[in-house]
Amino acid sequence: MAVERHEVGRGMQLLLEHLDKLIDENPEISDIHDAFEEYCMTKYSIGDGTTARRSGGKNDCGIDFYSFSNATYHVAQCKIPEKDWLEAHPEKIRAFGSSAISDCRDAINCLVGTSKLQANENVRYLYGQIQSDKSRDDFTLVFFLLVFGRLNEQAEVDFAQLKEEVGRQNVRIVLQRVDDILDDFLVGSAHAADKVEIRLRKEKGDSLNAHDYCYFLANAADIFNAFKDFGWRLFDLNLRYEIRNSNVNGNIVESLRRSRTRRNFHHYNNGLIIVCQHYTVRDADVRISNAQVINGLQTVKSIYNAVTAKEVELTDLEKDCRVQVKVIRNEQPDFVADVVQATNNQNPMAPRNLKSDAREQKLLRREFASFQPRWFYQVKQGEWDSLTQEGGRFFKDIVGYPPSEFKPEPTRKRGRVVDNQDVAKAWLAFIGYSDWAGDRTTHYFANQEVYDVAFRKCPADEHWRRLANLTDFRETRVMYLELRQPTCSQYLLAYLAWEFVRCFIPSPMQYREQALQEGVRQGKIKKEGGSFTSPITEQENYLADNHTYQT
């Protein structure tokens, strides 16, 4: 039990760090409760994600977010302690009382019962959608109570009673305690260091075998268990981690909910490609040693999401769901990289990943690695974390040096890592293209003109003189770039200057707060009890017309 408490405590710490990151990166998210809602919405939404809406705030009737697809609705209420309480009790799990169940009852009554509560615009929209669909035979309403903590004894009794009551109204209510919500952060903890060995069951004779590869239909329950046992270590060689709210992923989850679509899952889905050191085909299963899923991450994670969000029981997957699998015996880095690049197209690939094999990116990788002290030049999302797993088994083959040479101290997990996306942003701003640097980060790699200036051209002496004097600079800045790649030292200077300046720049959330506060003084935005109470649409319209904020 002590180990379980330790794991939950570690998971809570990781989740809180993730929530803090959401607050820093998104000006729409103002506090820990908003961040928890956002995280839960990405985990428990249904369908393609386009109908997912946060509705929490004034007159939310206990509904923090919802999503729907066809006639199926996911509605949720989130409970998380205040930030002060969490900071004062970092290892403690909060016990919520019966009031949490009362809030759930109010929310469900608002949607399918009788309620006199005043609802906000988003909740009214949800109510209208449900009213138009609830007479359909396939209408399904699932209400999630998502608790960053647990229920006390009386609340557990009240929840069981409410579950029975709403079941008679054709509503399913699901309780997700902190232990359930932390699953994403704890998968693989039982096998954090040992070799990745997986067993995938199949039907006898249900495989196509060749010299170094085989095809077969694997039991989907084994896919779930493999991810639960080994977590993200299954994907060390993949180009990316999970794509949140992808329409592909949401539809994968939806196809697992019903028996008919589960039975045809292997026809609807591209399945997995696994590279390995060795595999053995038997009548009842395939045993795979040093397995790496190089295509199919989204499929694996969607299967996992469907089970943990209680969209489907593991026994249902066991009974009637199969997944296409191709296993290849080949661990050569170049071969694996080519297969990864060619096959990862079920979800759109990030432009910077598609450029990771370009000549200039490879040259920069080598130059940064040869610099003293050595720097790891990251060309793919999450690459450092991926390559340093399993003791850095592939690290030296790809980078040329062991991971220890990139760390200021051997005990540190993180080394001297500079991301090529950050390099592009810093360098463009440094050489006078701050308008390009401040635009969407994807265009650094998707827009060829921007990419060339960031990675293939370098300012001539005249460029620097004009930049210093600001003499007609914007009109002529393209004229004084030479067709040669900047040096590693130049990039590092720009990057470190940017990191220094960032210490003094307010966060996007602070800019938003300042602009809205200005709107309060002008009488255009309402604020009560320390919170902005004007509808989100009014806030967005005000910010869109606020020249200072937009600048």
Nearest 5°: phi and psi at 270?
A: -70, -20
- Does residue 499 sit in the same domain as residue 512? no
Quote the pLDDT of residue 239.
47
Q: Which residue has the higher pLDDT, 521 or 531?
A: 521
- Does residue 364 sit in the same domain as residue 255? no
- Does residue 211 sit in the same domain as residue 327? yes
**End-to-end distance of the chain based on CA atoms, in angstroms?**
54
Q: Retrieve residue 505's tokens.
A: 């720049």
- Does residue 321 sit in the same domain as residue 229? yes
- Say how far residue 223 (Cα) sits from the centre of its chain: 20
CA geometry: angle 334, 294, 328, nearest 5 deg: 75
Residues 6+ apart with CB under 8 A from 41: 52, 54, 65, 67, 76
Q: pLDDT-based confidence at 91, cuts 50/70/90? A: confident
Quote the pLDDT of residue 225.
94
Quote the pLDDT of residue 382.
75
Mean pLDDT of 41-53: 77
Quote the pLDDT of residue 335.
66
- Does residue 306 sit in the same domain as residue 320? yes
Which of 343, 371, 402 terminates a domain? The answer is 343
Report how far residue 343's alpha carbon sits from residue 353's, in angstroms, rounded to the nearest whole number: 13
User: Is residue 147, in this structure, part of any structural domain at all?
Assistant: yes
- Does residue 128 sit in the same domain as residue 161? yes
Q: Which residue has the higher pLDDT, 331 or 320?
A: 320
> Which among 226, 49, 241, 82 is positioned nearest to 149, based on CA atoms?
82
Alpha-helix residue ranges (DSSP H) falling in 273-321: 297-308, 314-320
Q: Give me the domain span that covers residue 310.
A: 187-343
Q: Which residue has the higher pLDDT, 171 or 340?
A: 171
- Does residue 415 sit in the same domain as residue 519? no
**pLDDT (tens digit per residue) in 232-248:** 788 866 544 444 444 44
Which of 289, 319, 343 terminates a domain? The answer is 343
- Does residue 124 sit in the same domain as residue 158? yes
User: Is residue 84, in this structure, part of any structural domain at all?
Assistant: yes
Quote the pLDDT of residue 6.
63
Number of domains in the chain: 4
Q: Which residue has the higher pLDDT, 310 or 64?
A: 64
> Which among 183, 203, 173 is positioned nearest to 109, based on CA atoms?
173
Distances, alpha carbon 533 to alpha carbons 56, 152, 266, 373, 526, in Å: 12, 33, 49, 51, 5
Kindly give the pairing relationship between strand 458-459 and strand 481-482: antiparallel
Mean pLDDT of 68-80: 90
- The rounded percent of the chain whose pLDDT value lies above 70 is 88
- Does residue 203 sit in the same domain as residue 264? yes
DSSP line for 405-472? GG-SSTT-S--SEEEHHHHHHHHHHHTT-HHHHTS-TTHHHHSHHHHHHHHT-EE-HHHHHHHHHTSS
Quote the pLDDT of residue 391.
58
Quote the pLDDT of residue 1.
34
Distances, alpha carbon 314 to alpha carbons 86, 176, 222, 305, in Å: 33, 17, 10, 11
Which of 472, 489, 505 terminates a domain? The answer is 505
User: Is residue 93, in this structure, part of any structural domain at all?
Assistant: yes
Question: Is pLDDT above 50 for 8?
Answer: yes
Question: Is pLDDT above 50 for 284?
Answer: yes
Quote the pLDDT of residue 42.
82
User: Is residue 348, in this structure, part of any structural domain at all?
Assistant: no
- Does residue 476 sit in the same domain as residue 448? yes
Q: Retrieve residue 372's tokens.
A: 């003293």
- Does residue 149 sit in the same domain as residue 236? no
Q: pLDDT-based confidence at 541, cuts 50/70/90? A: confident
If you average pLDDT over every residue of the chain, what do you get? Answer: 84
Quote the pLDDT of residue 243.
41
Quote the pLDDT of residue 348.
53
Q: pLDDT-based confidence at 340, cuts 50/70/90? A: low
User: Is residue 386, in this structure, part of any structural domain at all?
Assistant: yes
Q: Which residue has the higher pLDDT, 441 or 85?
A: 85
Report how far residue 242's alpha carbon sits from residue 296's, in angstroms, rounded to the nearest whole number: 10
User: Is residue 244, in this structure, part of any structural domain at all?
Assistant: yes
Global confidence as pTM: 0.58
Mean pLDDT of 398-409: 87
Mean pLDDT of 338-364: 71
Report how far residue 137's alpha carbon sits from residue 259's, in angstroms, rounded to the nearest whole number: 16
Q: b vs e for 402-430, b when ≥16 Cβ sit within 10 Å of the residue's Cβ? A: ebeebbeeeeeeebbbbbbbbbbbbbbbb
**pLDDT (tens digit per residue) in 186-199:** 777 767 677 889 99
Quote the pLDDT of residue 245.
43
Q: pLDDT-based confidence at 424, cuts 50/70/90? A: very high
- Does residue 191 sit in the same domain as residue 305? yes
Quote the pLDDT of residue 336.
63
Range name among 22-26, 53-57, 178-182, 311-315 with the lowest pLDDT average: 22-26
User: Is residue 223, in this structure, part of any structural domain at all?
Assistant: yes
User: Is residue 514, in this structure, part of any structural domain at all?
Assistant: yes
Report how far residue 344's alpha carbon sits from residue 353's, in angstroms, rounded to the nearest whole number: 10
Question: Is pLDDT above 90 for 138?
Answer: no
Question: Is pLDDT above 80 for 251?
Answer: no
**pLDDT (tens digit per residue) in 96-108:** 999 999 999 999 9
Specify the CATH number for the domain of residue 131: 3.40.91
Question: Is pLDDT above 90 for 308?
Answer: no
- The rounded percent of the chain whose pLDDT value lies above 90 is 35
